Chain A
Amino acid sequence: MAETLLKVDNISKRFGGLLAVNEASFSVAVGRITALIGPNGAGKTTLFSIIAGFLLPDGGRVVYDGTDITGEAPHRLARRGIARTFQIVQPFAGLTVRENIAIGAHLSRRGRSEALSAAGEVARSVGLGAQLEAPAAALTVAGRKRLELARALAIMPRLLLLDEVLAGLNPSEIRDMIPVIRGIADAGVTVLMTEHVMQAVMRLAEQVLVLAEGRIIAQGTPQQVAADQRVIEAYLGHGAARRMAVGAGHD
């Protein structure tokens, strides 16, 4: 097992009567792409928000690079090298693409012109080079997803948290985006992504964690997880795995 960059230890979060995350524990190895999957309402985004400092857990710890970062403010986590994207894209709508990315680039660059030119490089690396001077509000959904990614990359993170960057994209846009994410990981950034698009998870992730009803119910390689009975039942309902096996037997 490679060196651990992020360790989530017994995290729980309750919203009133709903236990959104229930003692979830896992670790993310450095330099890998780890995917966090699970049916709707499994608690993926809640868990993400806790790791990124936007929500306080009711119990448990988040350890990053050997340091307990539970409950630290998002801007401090960003300075530690943790970047995130938002599932519902949050562009600075009144600014251009370049200015959007420059906000991230400013983290390590004080000067305005350095940040703006660094923003240009990051934009080209995610395929936004042609729209640099366009207002962010004018981008398509796919463009906004790329912008989310570019802004996060501009802070030069060690750990990148991607919250459903492929949701809402059409199949050809997804096909275009997969190499971009692969390229980020190849450049040495550790990626933790939540994703609904299984085709992407299968192609990108080295490790898959399955969250259902707030618990981690399975983890392993994509192939191991896809064959796991608990995972199939979590998605398709109780008894589905057995019915499928029976159905296969009848053929």
Chain B
Amino acid sequence: MKTYLSIIVVVALLAAVPMVTTSNVVLNFLVTALLIALAGQGWNLLGGYGGQYSFGHAAFFGTAAYATAILQVRYGLNAWVGSFIGMAAGALVGAVIGALTFRSGLRGSYFSLVTLAFAEVLRIIASVAPITGAGVGTLIPLDLHARAFQFQSRTPFYFIALALVAVSLTVIRAIENSRFGAYLVAVRENEDAASALGVDAFSVKLCAITISAAITAAAGCFYAQYFLFIDAGIAYGPWISIDALLAPIVGGAGTVFGPLLGALAIKTLGETTKLIAADAPGLDLMFYGLLLVGIVGLAPRGIAGLSRAISRPRRSSISTPDGSRG
């Protein structure tokens, strides 16, 4: 129970927010942050714990978003059922990409580039295929009922997003304390040494990318229901691939709370930039870039690593003021 205590506390604190404020601005901000935290948690399992840096998590997000939307619009399926199928579809895409890339032995930057290519190919297909609405995109008709996964106010959406994040935190914590999690970290640290100890690196990575894709896919399903509109640029665009990796890296890759911390940090930064710079297009992206450079350069273990270093000072590669004495 103790291992899950921090998750319970954090989720309880976040659940108390709607009691303090019902401001749509605040809730909207938090919902998008939770959405990124969820997508980022998917990336975190594969990238943070498994060391396989994907640049193409949009492939899972987009497939799930499109599946959810298309099943409703074209086949009249219930939105909740559609979301589950969407999640499964995202996981399936993850398994297929994983089987192809890992079977052919792609590691490091080769893996990153191939995942980017998969997402881009899907984006291009989605922007011309009739079933996705091609360039026009897919609009989910308004039907403000709980059974249609649509709500009048933002509060229910907020709680659903929070519940999804809570489940993802719990899943990641459970994996951390399992043999699979230990094997995954071993593969990240040294694949050859792991296989010499009986770790089937291919299966471990395949399993990781499938779960990773399912988590990010859940964010895609939620996105479709929350905004009720997707097109190729939203579903498969690089923005979600970038947010999904930026959040855990900023927050602390390979830690349970990294993606949540990072998502809150980058969303806060994004909103602040918008306030200061008004509508200068692309300025927030410049700040993201600077932030990423800063984090990777100064705090390679993210916010989580930084707070740990402050609370429990230990010699690290980060240069400290007293380093000048030497």
Show the binding face of A for B, using Cβ within 8 Å. 52, 54, 73-75, 78-79, 83-84, 86, 90-95, 99, 102-104, 106-107, 109-112, 115, 151-152, 154-155
Contact = CB atoms under 8 A, between A and B. Distances in A.
Interface string B193-208: 1111111110000000
Contacts of B190: 90-93
Interface in B165-200: 177-179, 182-183, 185-186, 188-190, 192-200
Given A102-B182, A112-B182, A94 B189 contact: yes
A103 B197 CA distance: 7
Q: What are the 7 A-B residue pairs with the smallest beta carbon separation, nearest first? A: A78-B198, A92-B189, A90-B193, A107-B198, A74-B195, A104-B197, A103-B186
Interface of B is mostly: helix
A155 B198 contact: yes
13 contacts: A54-B192, A73-B200, A75-B195, A75-B201, A84-B196, A90-B190, A94-B185, A94-B189, A103-B199, A107-B198, A151-B193, A151-B197, A152-B196
A112 B179 contact: yes
B197 A155 contact: yes
A90 B183 contact: no
Interface in B210-245: none
Nearest to A80: B198
Interface residues of B, number: 20
Contacts of B192: 54, 74, 86, 90
A95 B198 CA distance: 18
Contacts of B198: 75, 78-79, 104, 106-107, 155
A91 B201 CA distance: 16
Contact of A103 (B177, B178, B183): B183
A86 B183 contact: no
A86 B190 CA distance: 12
B179 A106 contact: yes
Given A92-B189, A95-B189, A78 B196 contact: yes
Nearest to A105: B197
A75 B200 CA distance: 6
A71 to B, nearest CB: 14
Contacts of B185: 92, 94-95
Contacts of A155: 197-198
